[in-house]
């Protein structure tokens, strides 16, 4: 009879299945090896750049645009009081790692003007022929500065202009400059006819030398309702660094279209108590809820005790609350009266942030209020008793 003996058949079958398995393994897609993060070090300053900062540095002009690194990566810098994250400083720029939003350049032009005591104000609002006008800031960009701005990244790289062309003396050099959100451009006529007649100022090196970066060392209450509200408000990424929290006396009163909370900061040795006032802004589109902070300067024996007498079912508006109402809301156009509750004294936990934002928990009311970096950043959280 033809065929293989049983032992031969088994060996052949084993060989066949091994070859099929090998073919299948070889045909499977091979996962790509992740590229190792790159680093580059500079003996000129003794610092290194690593990805993702290095990738951004390389792609957007490298040494000519950013200069050498002058710091290590700072994992927790507080920027403009509102953002906390990883940064690295260079001679001409501060790069910021915004995670999923990528690497961004810092607003060092605006920072420099502010530190010099001349923060930018809206410009004159005109444009010459051949210039480019920016309605966002009211300033115009012309000539060599305009050409450089448009040829080297424009709005993304430099931001909007924040000044007109100015004549300044910088480290012994005297000439024309113009400030932008992120940069200062300098015109160097001594380099006319070369690619270097317009240069970038060393804003970052100057700012870094004048004032070290502010690092965030959080001082954060463990109170769960405050933490919940801080994480859930739409402006959470602009609260900045938690700087301190305190338990202080407070008083609250609710009005028809608003609320006032008195906070006793003097109990902490601070100069002034404040009144946080929330109101419906009836003069703005969509009537948003807004807030304002007032110093409580009511004085017993000098100011009236009662500003609005209570008539059932409403309540009187008195002392500091009454004085705020009298000065800010009595004649409109925004009204918050009448008072629909009496004043309620209780203790409050106040969490403060580097942006100026605060979150206030009224312990007896089981309510938490967030007042963010801008007047429309308001949020409330009522938690279970």
Instruction: Judge whether residue 16 has pLDDT over 70.
Output: no
59 and 130 inside one domain: yes
308 and 175 inside one domain: no
Q: What is the mean pLDDT of residues 319-338?
A: 94
Cα–Cα distance measured from residue 320 to residue 273, given in angstroms and rounded to the nearest whole number: 10
Classify residue 30: in a domain, yes or no.
Answer: no
Instruction: Judge whether residue 8 has pLDDT over 80.
Output: no
Instruction: Judge whether residue 2 has pLDDT over 70.
Output: no
Model confidence pLDDT, tens digit, residues 175-211: 999 999 999 999 999 898 888 899 999 999 999 998 8
CA proximity to 381, closest of 371, 370, 372, 373 = 370
Classify residue 376: in a domain, yes or no.
Answer: yes
Torsion angle of the four alpha carbons 302, 307, 311, 314, in this order, in degrees rounded to the nearest 10: -120
162 and 78 inside one domain: yes
Instruction: Judge whether residue 24 has pLDDT over 80.
Output: no
Strand-strand pairing, 184-187 and 198-200: antiparallel
> How many distinct structural domains can be found in the chain?
2
Q: What is the mean pLDDT of residues 334-342?
A: 95
Instruction: Give the CA count within 13 Å in the CB-facing half-sphere of 263.
Output: 27
Cα–Cα distance measured from residue 149 to residue 225, given in angstroms and rounded to the nearest whole number: 48
| pLDDT of amino acid 34 | 54
Classify residue 322: in a domain, yes or no.
Answer: yes
Q: Which two tokens stand for residue 374?
A: 């801008």
| pLDDT of amino acid 281 | 93
Residue 218 C-alpha from the chain's centroid = 16
User: Residue 155 — pLDDT band, cuts 50, 70, 90?
Assistant: very high
194 and 96 inside one domain: yes
257 and 360 inside one domain: yes
Is 247 in contact with 347 (CB distance < 8 Å)? yes
187 and 251 inside one domain: no
| pLDDT of amino acid 275 | 98
58 and 110 inside one domain: yes
228 and 210 inside one domain: no
Classify residue 159: in a domain, yes or no.
Answer: yes
| pLDDT of amino acid 61 | 86
Classify residue 10: in a domain, yes or no.
Answer: no
177 and 284 inside one domain: no
Query: pTM here?
Result: 0.80
Q: What is the mean pLDDT of residues 118-139?
A: 91
Cα–Cα distance measured from residue 109 to residue 207, given in angstroms and rounded to the nearest whole number: 10
Instruction: Judge whether residue 26 has pLDDT over 90.
Output: no
Domain boundary among 166, 189, 216: 216
Residue 190 C-alpha from the chain's centroid = 39
209 and 281 inside one domain: no
Classify residue 50: in a domain, yes or no.
Answer: yes
Domain boundary among 172, 194, 216: 216
210 and 234 inside one domain: no
Cα–Cα distance measured from residue 61 to residue 56, given in angstroms and rounded to the nearest whole number: 9
Q: Where are the alpha helices (DSSP H) in 116-165?
A: 143-151, 154-158
Instruction: Say how many C-beta atoms besides its own lie within 10 A of residue 191's C-beta.
Output: 12
Domain boundary among 186, 216, 246: 216
Domain with 316, as residue range(s), is 224-382
Classify residue 187: in a domain, yes or no.
Answer: yes
Percentages of the chain per state (helix, strand, coil), in multiples of 5: 25, 30, 45
208 and 86 inside one domain: yes
Classify residue 258: in a domain, yes or no.
Answer: yes
Is 132 in contact with 146 (CB distance < 8 Å)? yes
Instruction: Judge whether residue 352 has pLDDT over 70.
Output: yes
% of the chain with per-residue pLDDT over 90: 78
Please report, for residues 85, 108, 238, 262, 330, the alpha-carbon distance to residue 89 in angstroms, rounded to integers and kept in the order given. 13, 11, 21, 42, 50
Cα–Cα distance measured from residue 297 to residue 107, given in angstroms and rounded to the nearest whole number: 37
- 3-class secondary-structure state, position 209: helix
Instruction: Judge whether residue 230 has pLDDT over 60.
Output: yes
């Amino acid at each position: 009879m033809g065929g293989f003996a049983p032992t031969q058949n088994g060996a052949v079958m084993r060989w066949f299945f091994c070859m099929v398995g090998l073919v299948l393994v070889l045909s499977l897609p091979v996962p790509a090896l992740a590229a190792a993060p790159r680093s580059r070090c500079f003996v000129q300053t003794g610092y290194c750049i690593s990805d993702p900062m290095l990738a951004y540095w390389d792609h957007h002009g490298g040494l000519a645009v950013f200069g050498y690194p002058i710091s290590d990566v700072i994992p927790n810098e507080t920027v403009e009081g509102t953002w906390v994250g990883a940064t690295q400083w260079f001679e001409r720029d501060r790069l910021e790692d915004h995670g999923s939003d990528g690497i961004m350049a810092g607003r060092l032009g605006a920072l420099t003007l502010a530190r010099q005591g001349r923060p930018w104000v809206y410009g004159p609002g005109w444009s010459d022929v051949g210039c480019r006008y920016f309605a966002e800031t009211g300033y115009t960009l012309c000539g060599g500065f305009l050409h450089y701005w448009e040829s080297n990244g424009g709005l993304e790289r430099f931001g909007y202009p924040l000044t007109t062309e100015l004549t300044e003396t910088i480290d012994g050099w005297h000439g024309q400059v113009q400030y932008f959100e992120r940069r200062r451009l300098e015109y160097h006529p001594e380099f006319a006819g070369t690619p270097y007649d317009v240069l970038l100022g060393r804003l970052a090196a100057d700012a870094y030398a004048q004032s070290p970066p502010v690092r965030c060392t959080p001082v954060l209450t463990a109170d769960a309702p405050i933490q919940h509200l801080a994480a859930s408000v739409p402006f959470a990424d602009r609260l900045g660094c938690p700087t301190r929290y305190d338990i202080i006396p407070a008083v609250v009163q609710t009005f028809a279209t608003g609320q006032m909370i008195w906070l006793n900061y003097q109990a902490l040795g601070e100069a002034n108590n404040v009144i946080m006032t929330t109101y419906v802004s009836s003069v703005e589109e969509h009537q948003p809820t807004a807030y304002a902070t007032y110093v409580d300067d009511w004085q017993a024996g000098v100011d009236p005790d009662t500003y609005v007498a209570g008539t059932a079912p409403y309540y009187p508006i008195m002392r500091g609350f009454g004085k705020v109402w009298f000065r800010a809301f009595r004649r409109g156009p925004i009204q918050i009266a009448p008072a629909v509750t009496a004043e309620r004294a209780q203790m409050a936990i106040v969490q403060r942030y580097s942006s100026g934002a605060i979150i206030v928990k009224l312990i007896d009311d089981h309510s938490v209020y967030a007042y963010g970096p801008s007047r429309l950043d308001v949020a409330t959280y009522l938690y279970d008793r």
